[in-house]
Each structure stands twice: as C-alpha cells, then as structure tokens.
Structure 1
Amino acid sequence: MSVTPTKPDGDLVQLEIRGRSTEANRRAASGDPRPVQHILDRFPSGGRGRPWVDVPDEDWNDWRWQQRNRVTTLEELEKVIDLTEEERNAFEESHARFHMAITPYYASLMDPEDPNCPIRLQSVPKMGELLVLPTDLEDPLAEERDMPVPGITHRYPDRVLFYITHNCPVYCRHCTRKRKVSDPSSAAAKKQIEDGLAYIEAHPEIRDVVISGGDPLSLSDERLDYILGRLRAIPHIEIFRLGTRNLVTLPQRITDDFVYMLRKHHPVYVNTHFNHPKELTEEAFEACRKLADAGCVLGNQMVLLKGVNDDPKIVKELNHKLLMARVRPYYIYQCDLSQGISHFRTSVEKGLEIIEALRGHTSGLAVPHYVIDAPGGGGKIPMLPSYVVRRDGKQIVLRNYQFKEFVYEEP
C-alpha cells in the first residue's frame, strides 16, 4: 500500500491510499464515523436533565445558551437533583465564599438520586468546604508570590502562566484557585492582559505560555483570537497551551468557528481536565475530535479526588477512553492544600497504588505522570513507585510490574 498526493483542496493536500477502494478513501477523507463506530459506541450521549427535556436542539447545542442558563441557585438545583439535607445546608453556608454554577449539560450528567455521584461531588457544595485545616493555604502554590505583573506567574525559567479570566462555565468544588475564581471583582481587565503581553514580549527566555484562568474559553472567539495572535507574533514564543475544562463541562463551546480560529495559531496544545469516565460522553468525544482533527495536541490533567476517581479501575477506564478520544493522559495531580477541599484529598500512597496498578498492566500511553505541585511554590515533583531494588557496584537490581527481579549490568 502506498500514499500519493492528489488534487489540492485549499491549504490541504488530499491523499489517495493505493490498494484501498475509492469509497474507503472518500469515507476516510470526509471523517465518516462508520469505520470507528465500535469506538463511538463507548461514548454515550450526555442526555438532558429533568428541567431541560423540552429545550430545542438549537438552544441546547448553543454554548451561549448553556452559559446563560447555568444552575446557580438552590431553587434551580432542586429541580435537577434530589438534594440531601447536607447539600442544602452546604449550599447556604458556602455560597458566599465560592459560588456555584453548573451548565445544564454538565448538570444532566449528575445522578439525581445518588449524592455520591462523581459528577455531583465535583459540582454541588458539601459541608467539607467549610472546614479549613491548619495546613490549608489560600494560595497553596504561591502563584501570587511569583507574579512579576498581575496575571502572570513566572516560576520556571522558560515558561509562564498567563491568567486571562477568572470565570468558568462550572465552578469545580475542588478548585485550587478558589481565592479568585467565581469572584467578579478579580476579573482580568483589559489593561492586565496588555501588561501580561508586554511582560512576555520583554522576556526572550520565555518560549512557552500556559494560558489559564478561570477558563480561557470563557472569552469570546474574537478576544481569544486577539490574545493568541499577539502571542504568535512574538518571535521567542514557540508554543502555547490552553488549559480548559470546557471539553468536560461545556463541549458545545468547541464550535467550527472556534476551531477554525485556533488553526491560525499553530502549534497549539490543549490541556483538559477529565476526572471520571462518566464525563467522556458523545458530546465530549466530538469536541475532542474537532480539536484533534484541527491539529491541536490534546493532553489530560486529572486531579486525584477521594470518592471520585481514587480507584485504579476507574483511572484505567478513564485513560483508555481518553486515548480513544485522542487525548493523552498527561498528569495525575495530588489534590492541593487549598482551603476548603481537604475532604477531596487522598493519601499519596493511594496515588502511588494507582500508578503501580497502571504501569505494565496497560500501555505506557495510558500511564500519566503522578505529581505533587509542591506547597509554597516548589513546582511539580514527580511521585514514582520504586523500581530500583538495590545497587551493587555496576549491577542494578530492578523489579518489574510483576515484582520479578532483574539485573542490569552497567559498563
């Protein structure tokens, strides 16, 4: 079988694969899903919750409609799920500290009868949010300390975090930036963004910009196009990364127009934040497909959360589904020492147990890096099970995933 270029179509070159039928080539070029239907079958539709069964498709599939109709009050939430007394009390007592907002799409993924539903645990306030331990920190990663200008964290030599908004379609209950996210007074003003761009322009050692927030996709296509265009015009910027949870909580945001805009600014990396297999729906799969087809490189950053994904079987299923959606499992984060999220924290031993259960038992592509983002601004520190049993001169005794020992001889 060989590949030869055929007639150009705009900026793309179509390829005809010899040895395959014309019909097969047509389906492959057009993105016809039939060749991978058995994959698509593993991604069920998210469906619609009780209040939205009669909403027209035109509205439901409009990300702006989803934003306008977010669940933000106790009365609205009671129409979606059967609230427990704890959830009701937690909402009333925590709302002033950290607002609640859930898109209709993401709310529809919640089990209305199960308070331990993994989607519900991430979205609906719990009494644990009111508990602040002596070890908890308002800014656990010292992002403000390493902030030379508002909106820029410059910790590592060649890269920066660039916060362009503090809004999100869904306010995750385990958010590490609760000090800012959901607070309208902390929104990034136009001057702050311009000052951030000026700082990046003035520092030629910066080659990588992580665009974060909040969720940067909360901004309009036009605003994002402007910011990305400014960054792409800086000669020393090689790549930038968009950190977004919209693929999880608002996949309707990944429109054809948005994807067309992104293609102008390659190379573009997109890091998303799926925490549970239930979040990988047909709609999420389609959002991932659009970005991957447009040439974006997709990675996933999972946070290890007690009761949500602290189980090797769940993490393995999540990572297998991510790979089918062309998303590389990138990081598993140990839950930070942020205030009001201690009820989500697992032991580090649990994280190591999960990595141990993945390594060797599934393909390396499905094994992410397990890291602790060190309190006080120490940066990401990898956590690994020990596979070196001992060193004896030039001999290194190793163990594999089956706990069998092997000797490697150094020169």
Structure 2
Amino acid sequence: MKRTLRSARDLAAAGLVTPARAAEITPVEARYSVAVTPAMAALIAAGAEDVAAQYLPDPAELVTAPHELDDPTADAPFTPIKGVVHRYPDRALLKPLLACPVYCRFCFRREAVGADGGLLTEAELEAALDWFARTPAVREVILTGGDPLILSPRRFAHILARLSAIPHVELLRIHSRVPVAEPSRVTPELLAALTLETPLYLCVHANAAAEFTPEAGAALRALHGAGLVLLGQSVLLRGVNDTEAALEALFRTMLRHRVKPYYLHQLDPAPGTARFHVPEAEGLALLARLRGRVTGLSWPAYVREWPEGGGKYPLGMPAMQPGAGHPRRSG
C-alpha cells in the first residue's frame, strides 16, 4: 500500500474490505469521495477498528436522516467572497481548496469536498486575500478547506506571506489532518513555508490514539521545532472514541506528542452520518468521569455549532446566540 486508495475496488485489492463489501459500498463512492492514505491503510490492515470506522465507506451514508443538512455549519450565508467564511467579527476562514488527503465518513463538508479539489483559481485566491487586506476587523485567519497542507509548499508559502504582510492580521491558524494521516508531506520545504514571524497555530485533527504513529510523531516534532503551536481537535464519534478509555488515551497521546487538546466537537448533522452520533448528555457524562483522572492540560472545550451558522458554543453551560443578549438553550 504505497499509494492512496480511492475506490471500493482499491480497498478490496488492498484487503481492507471483502469483495462483497466492496460491491455494497461502490454506490457510496459515486456520491462521496474516498481516500485512505498508506499510513491509515496500514493501521486498518493491522486491525485498528477505530481508524477503519473513520475512513471506510458504509452503505448507511446514503441514508439521510430528517435532521441532517447539506450545509450543517451554514457556511454559505457567511461567505462574503468565494473561499472565505466570516462568522465571527475578529476572525475568518480561508478555504484555498476543498481536497483532503483522506475523506472522513462524518465530514461536515462532505457535500463539497472531493477529488476534484475545489482549488481556488489564481484570480479567486487573490480576490480572497484582498478581502482580508481590506477587512481590518479580522485579526485571525484560519486556513482550512479541504486541507491546506496538501497545497504545494510554494503556493502555501505565497498565501502565508500575503496574509502575514497584512498589518491587522495578528494570528494565523491551520486546520489539518496531514501530520497524522499523511505525515510524509511534512517535508523540509513545507517546514520552510511555515516559518513565519506571525504567530502560527496548527490544529491537528485526530480522533483515536492509534492515529499517532511513529511517523506522525516525527512530523509533529518537526512542526513543533519549526515554531508552530500545536493544538488538537477531535470529533466525538460512536464506535471510535465514545468511551472513557478511548478519550483518555487520545488526550494523553496528544500531549505526549506536544499537541494540546483544544476542541472536542459534537458531531455536525451532515447527510448520512447518524451512525456516528453520540448524544450531548452522553458526551458530557463521559467528560465528567474523566475529570480528575487526566491533567487539566488535556482538557478540551466540548463544543457544537449553531445549525443556523454563527459559530461554536461550549456544551454544559448556557449558550449565547450570536448577536443576542440572552442565553439560548441548546437543542
């Protein structure tokens, strides 16, 4: 397995699914992209069921529950220009592409991301960068997608240089699966592109301790050595990390790899993801049972998104609807 597996046929040829299962999931790949990197395929082949659940397609993905939404985080209403999402006054997302090294079966942007890449053209990218330059309220730019770390180092360096040159941009943040899902992409050229004067934070998406392979550890050490602050973000997922033992192992493993757990996301209701749903009350109870068992350094904020857009709020406390002056009860 030296290349990314991109179809049910590839998965069967690699021995990750049976031929019968491949026939069942072939219709899924027609709607939602499939990609399993060699690093993740090796874990699945070795029996890591918590990794397999995240990346192997399932026929259940073609069943959309009544509460599920094509755009569960409401990106579209907060998109002032292509490639930009502006929900909060002082920060905005830049999505230079919509391709990823792997495709999570629970992705909240699964209707948009895929093999075609959704790469911004040069003109679209420059227009997006110009938007940040003329929007002084934005102090933090969050590069996401898709996964921005699969861009060429040259193109990514250009984006970071442009953003760093904007006087009112104080912080840059990258959200990525690359360090764990495809650590071979963390090359000297990429590290050079990430070396900046502007403070740079990297949010590493991982949901199971098994994802932190020795290769991932080396990539994370290199990123830390290049001056990046490493944060961890995870999604609470049925069958992946919905036990005390799994969450404790995940948080402890993150810290051992210099990654501070930052967000534990409640699953966003994207189409065909119901099998991953863990009720909020169960998630709160899981975290409560971990209180005192793990260091406070390992404690993430447990958050969910407003389905109408407007960003995240922490679970377990009254939520403030964006723009409102009163608490709003969570659903």
TM over 0.5: yes
Task: Please list, as runs of the form range in 1=range in 2, the aligned pairs for 1:358-373 lying within 5 A after superposition.
Answer: 358-373=290-305
Task: Tell me if the contact between 1:358 and 1:367 (Cα under 8 Å) persists in the aligned partners.
Answer: no
Q: How many residues align?
A: 318
Say yes or no: does 1:110 pair with 2:41: no
Which residue in the other structure is 2:74 paired with? 142
Q: TM-score, normalised by structure 2?
A: 0.92
Output one character per residue of 1:191-230: Cα deviation in whole Å (capped at 9) or x when no partner. 2211110110011010000000100011100000000000
Aligned equivalents of 2:148 and 2:24: distance in 1?
A: 28
Task: Tell me if the contact between 2:12 and 2:22 (Cα under 8 Å) persists in the aligned partners.
Answer: no
Task: Tell me if the contact between 2:99 and 2:118 (Cα under 8 Å) persists in the aligned partners.
Answer: no
Aligned equivalents of 1:159 and 1:171: distance in 2?
A: 26
Output one character per residue of 1:335-377: Cα deviation in whole Å (capped at 9) or x when no partner. 0011111111111122102210222221101111100112110
Task: Tell me if the contact between 1:248 and 1:284 (Cα under 8 Å) persists in the aligned partners.
Answer: yes
Which residue in the other structure is 1:390 paired with? none
1:85 and 1:131, CA in 2 relative to 1: closer, same or farther beyond 3 A?
farther
Match of 1:145, SS state, is: helix
Say yes or no: does 1:339 pair with 2:264: no
Aligned equivalents of 2:148 and 2:249: distance in 1?
A: 28
Task: Tell me if the contact between 1:87 and 1:125 (Cα under 8 Å) persists in the aligned partners.
Answer: no
Task: Please list, as runs of the form range in 1=range in 2, the aligned pairs for 1:73-88 lying within 5 A after superposition.
Answer: 73-84=7-18, 87-88=21-22
Identical residues among aligned pairs (%) = 36
Output one character per residue of 1:68-98: Cα deviation in whole Å (capped at 9) or x when no partner. x211133321132352477424421111111
Which residue in the other structure is 2:326 paired with? none
Aligned equivalents of 2:187 and 2:194: distance in 1?
A: 11
Aligned equivalents of 1:236 and 1:96: distance in 2?
A: 43
Say yes or no: does 1:313 pair with 2:245: yes
Aligned equivalents of 2:156 and 2:96: distance in 1?
A: 9
Cα deviation, residue 320, structure 1: 0.6
Task: Tell me if the contact between 1:334 and 1:370 (Cα under 8 Å) persists in the aligned partners.
Answer: yes
Aligned equivalents of 2:4 and 2:290: distance in 1?
A: 37
Larger Rg: 1
Say yes or no: does 1:120 pair with 2:82: no
Match of 2:88, SS state, is: coil
Task: Tell me if the contact between 1:229 and 1:265 (Cα under 8 Å) persists in the aligned partners.
Answer: no
- Give the partner amino acid of 2:30: A
Output one character per residue of 1:267-307: Cα deviation in whole Å (capped at 9) or x when no partner. 11000111001101111111110111111000011001110
Output one character per residue of 1:299-346: Cα deviation in whole Å (capped at 9) or x when no partner. 011001110111111111111111111000001000001111111111
| Aligned-residue RMSD, C-alpha | 1.7
Question: Structure 1 stretches of 5 or more lacking a match?
Answer: 1-50, 53-68, 387-411
- Give the partner amino acid of 1:170: V
Aligned equivalents of 2:317 and 2:213: distance in 1?
A: 32
Question: Structure 2 stretches of 5 or more lacking a match?
Answer: 319-331
1:190 aligned to which of 111, 116, 122? 122
Cα deviation, residue 118, structure 1: 1.2
Which residue in the other structure is 1:208 paired with? 140
Which residue in the other structure is 2:32 paired with? 98
Say yes or no: does 1:259 pair with 2:191: yes
Aligned equivalents of 2:76 and 2:106: distance in 1?
A: 19
Aligned equivalents of 1:217 and 1:185: distance in 2?
A: 13
Task: Tell me if the contact between 1:90 and 1:125 (Cα under 8 Å) persists in the aligned partners.
Answer: no
Say yes or no: does 1:354 pair with 2:286: yes
Which residue in the other structure is 2:203 paired with? 271
Aligned equivalents of 1:197 and 1:99: distance in 2?
A: 28
Q: TM-score, normalised by structure 1?
A: 0.74
